């Protein structure tokens, strides 16, 4: 489920995408959605069509987290059991 950053308006211009809105509200939204370490990842997405106010994009929180690798290897374990198992 996407978390939208409310209070920010995103419009395409000739030179890029303009972001505007109430700074205090935007900062509060970002603070409310930051991670435990204080960081946040945001994703600027394009709307299928502009809304009635001309907004062409919107901003969401990127919640993707990498899956931690689980390793059953013990220190000193080797993938090669002996030299005879090499294919060449």
How does pLDDT run across 50-68, given as a tens digit for each residue? 999 999 999 999 998 888 8
H/E segment holding residue 4: strand 3-4
Over residues 12-28, the pLDDT tens digits come to 999 999 999 999 999 99
The runs of H, that is alpha helices, within 2-87 are 23-32
pTM to 2 decimal places: 0.69
Task: State the pLDDT confidence band at 37, using cuts at 50, 70 and 90.
Answer: very high
Task: State the pLDDT confidence band at 70, using cuts at 50, 70 and 90.
Answer: confident
């Amino acid at each position: 489920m996407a978390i939208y950053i409310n209070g920010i308006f995103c419009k395409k211009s000739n030179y890029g995408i303009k972001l505007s809105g109430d700074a205090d509200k935007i900062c509060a939204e970002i603070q409310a959605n930051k991670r435990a370490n204080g960081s946040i990842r945001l994703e600027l997405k394009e709307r299928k069509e502009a809304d009635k106010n001309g907004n062409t994009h919107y901003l969401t929180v990127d919640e993707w987290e990498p899956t931690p690798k689980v390793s059953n290897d013990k220190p000193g374990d080797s993938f090669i059991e002996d030299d005879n198992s090499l294919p060449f």
